[in-house]
Amino acid sequence: MPDVQVSVLIPVKDEEATLATLVAEIAAAFETLPEVEYEVIFVDDGSVDTSWTVMRDLAATHRRVRALRLRRNFGKAAALAAAVDEALGERVVTMDADLQDDPTEVPRLLAELDDGADLVSGHKADRKDPLGKRIPSKFFNKMTGVITGLKLNDHNCGLKAAKTEVYRRVPLYGELHRYIPALAHQSGYKVRELAVNHRPREHGKSKYGFERYVRGAIDLLTVMTITKYGRRPAHLFGGLGLASGLLGFVLLAYLTIVKVFGGEAIGDRPLLMLGILLIILGVQMISIGLIAEIVLHRTANRREATDLIDERTKTLEPADAVEPTTRVVAK
């Protein structure tokens, strides 16, 4: 197969009835882009139906299709990470396997990348999901926008297109696939949103339950920590430590005034123990922040900083290097 330009990455969990149709629809979408070479990478994330057999058969009969099988169900983020590691294209398109994401939108997403975007996230403007799924999603999107600073209507749309380097840079574990646009935005990439067609589910059942929202909320705290304090942990822990220590100091100062000027006994007052514990906690938090800074300093490397560069004028070749001048000293 010629050099691949676009890799379509599809995590799969029990979607045996949709995979063949999805491959056909992807092929039809790319027929409008005859100059683009693409591949389809399925990742079986612990399916218990015949999804793996279907994927393996599709890979055997379609030269553009490949399939990976994880040892067990590790989650969508891990499945995407495995697919990204295998991707050959300089660009990736991600979509769900349930046929709710419409492959005919792929050319429009890729056109946004041609126009200068680094990542384009779909927006299910007319979402074909039950109300019980749409309402928590709206709340989730609002909270994610407030915390991360990236205002999108739909952070968690499965249909996205991006430069492959974006997916290789952002962390993918837990439920962090929900926050790929926010993580990319924090890393300085240009993120856009595009309204896309969304279709009702006709096969299988949704994999999202209440526990997914709980895990997503916990991972939102992780995202906040990564995006706001990933390069300056002392600011996070030091700030919390100073707040705790200051509150403890105020309590102890109050008790001191009560003891000195009021003559009251304070040895058995709960505030005394609370004040002492808050100061100890403050010292510990500040110490954790300083240790985190030391670890970050020791483990950070020059390559990570180089990865932040968007473009450069040129690379200085050894032959172009300026020769050092020699000063002649008169005798």
Per-position DSSP letters for 24-90, written without gaps between them? HHHHHHHTT-TT--EEEEEEE-S-SSSHHHHHHHHHHH-TTEEEEE-SS---HHHHHHHHHHH--SS
Report the number of distinct structural domains present in the chain.
2
Residues 25 and 80 in one domain: yes
Residue 322 belongs to a domain: no
Query: What is the model's pLDDT at position 331?
Result: 47
- Of the residues 209, 229, 249, the one at which a domain ends: 229
Whole-angstrom Cα distance, residue 69 to residue 124? 29
**What CATH number corresponds to the domain at position 61?**
3.90.550.10
- Of 131, 132, 158, 156, which is closest to residue 142 (Cα–Cα)? 156
Q: Are residues 105 and 194 in the same domain?
A: yes
Looking at the fold, whether 237 and 217 belong to one and the same domain comes out as no
Q: Per the domain annotation, does 42 fall within a domain?
A: yes
Residue 67's pLDDT is 95
Q: Are residues 117 and 15 in the same domain?
A: yes
31 and 60 part of one domain: yes
Select from 211, 229, 247 the last residue of a domain: 229
**Residue 144 sits in the same domain as residue 247:** no
Is 114 contained in some domain? Answer: yes
Do 166 and 250 fall within a single domain? no
30 and 143 housed in the same domain: yes
Task: Clarify whether residues 152 and 245 are in a common domain.
Answer: no
Q: Is residue 330 part of a domain?
A: no
How many other C-beta atoms lie within 10 A of the C-beta of residue 92? Answer: 24
Whether the CA torsion 155, 160, 166, 167 is positive or negative: it is positive
Indicate whether 88 belongs to any domain: yes
| pTM, full prediction | 0.72
Average pLDDT per block of 10 residues along the chain, 331 residues long:
89 94 96 95 94 95 94 90 94 95 96 96 80 74 81 88 94 81 89 92 64 67 70 81 94 91 85 93 90 70 51 54 49 47
Predicted confidence at residue 300, as pLDDT, reads: 54
Q: Which of 189, 273, 164, 290 has its CA nearest to residue 238?
A: 290
Residue 209, both tokens: 């339950």
Structural domain boundaries, residue 127: 6-229
| Residue ending a domain, choose from 229, 259, 274 | 229
pLDDT of amino acid 315? 53
Note the pLDDT of residue 132: 64
pLDDT at 235: 80
Residue 19 placed within a domain: yes
Q: Based on the domain organization, do 211 and 257 belong to the same domain?
A: no
Query: Do 11 and 160 have their domain in common?
Result: yes
Is 81 a domain residue? yes
Paired sense of beta strands 38-44 and 6-12, if any:
parallel
The runs of H, that is alpha helices, within the chain are 19-30, 51-61, 76-86, 106-114, 131-148, 164-169, 180-186, 210-229, 233-262, 270-299, 302-306
What pLDDT was estimated at residue 1?
58
* 78 lies in the same domain as 182: yes
Give the pLDDT confidence score for residue 118 in this predicted structure: 96
Q: Does some domain include residue 321?
A: no
